[in-house]
Amino acid sequence: MTDLRRENLAWPDEKRVYLTLDYECDYGTALSENTYYALSHTDELVTLLENHEIPLTCFVQTEVLDERPDEVETLRNSDTLVNFHPHSHTHAPREEISIEDEIELSTARYRTFFETDPSGYRFPNGNVREPDYRLLADYGYKFDASVFPSWRPGHFNNTRAETRPVYLPEYDIVELPFTVFSKALRIPTALSYCQLIGRPYTELLKRRGPSSVVLNIHMHDLVTPPSYDDLSPLYRRIYDRNPSGFDTLRHLVEGLLQRGYAFSTLNRLHTEIV
């Protein structure tokens, strides 16, 4: 993404964690048929959030609003702040869909369910492209939160992407990227990478992480759905993790709190830096 004019913004000076949840079908685009078993553990996530008074930025695959509305209400009715935003519609691979139709359907369904306008959007697999920002602007979005400034084979190579928030003046949109450990070590600060790499990365992130951490999670990071058996051999190896995902998240959250991090939302971040 090189053609758009970009103005680099700064992360806040204070230590902040922005916990974001991709609330979607099990394993995202890794399965040919959507299942939603992991969402049945939403109440456990709410308990963890409430116990530690942690706010959440939740990007909802809008198909979930039809398939699991009660679980969405469990999040919405929690005693901690949850900011909801659309996260695609069907969560199908990009090459199989119309991006404009996807944004239109996601936005319309969101407005019907939540009776308000969304301000942020997230594309599956971090796959946002320059023309997408014009579409987001047309539908009234203020920020996108899709870019991984790192590398994932077969999906993206953003190793030259900015690791800070970026303002796109042509569309009046801010890109709030996923954070990485550092510019030199561009490993995303996501629970899935903590589980994939193991305890050494979790401890490194907890003890020496960046001052601003966008900590991303999925429900299938926290529990192992039965649809694990339907994954390809490659994805089974990737997702063959420690089954105690909630314990890993709790351990990481408590370590960050002990180091003096405060938890906030991407909505608040957007208002602070623009």
For the segment 83-111, what is each residue's pLDDT rounded down to a tens digit?
999 998 887 777 788 999 999 999 999 99
Mark the ranges of the chain whose per-residue pLDDT is less than 70. 1-3, 242-243
Fold (topology level) of 7-273: TIM Barrel (3.20.20)
Whether 157 and 151 have beta carbons less than 8 Å apart is answered as yes
Q: Could you give the dihedral angle defined by the CA atoms of residues 107, 178, 194 and 27, in that order, rounded to the nearest 10 degrees?
A: 30
Domain boundaries, the chain: 7-273
Q: What is the pLDDT of residue 96?
A: 81
Token pair listed for 35 = 């299942």
Taking the C-alpha atoms of residue 240 and residue 167, their distance in angstroms, rounded to an integer, is 38
Total Cβ atoms within 10 A of residue 265: 20
pTM for this one? 0.95
For the segment 140-173, what is each residue's pLDDT rounded down to a tens digit?
999 999 999 998 877 778 888 899 999 999 999 9
Name, in order, each residue with C-beta under 8 angstroms of 83's C-beta and a sequence gap of 6 or more: 55, 56, 57, 58, 120, 265, 266, 267
Q: What is the pLDDT of residue 1?
A: 46
Taking the C-alpha atoms of residue 149 and residue 188, their distance in angstroms, rounded to an integer, is 8
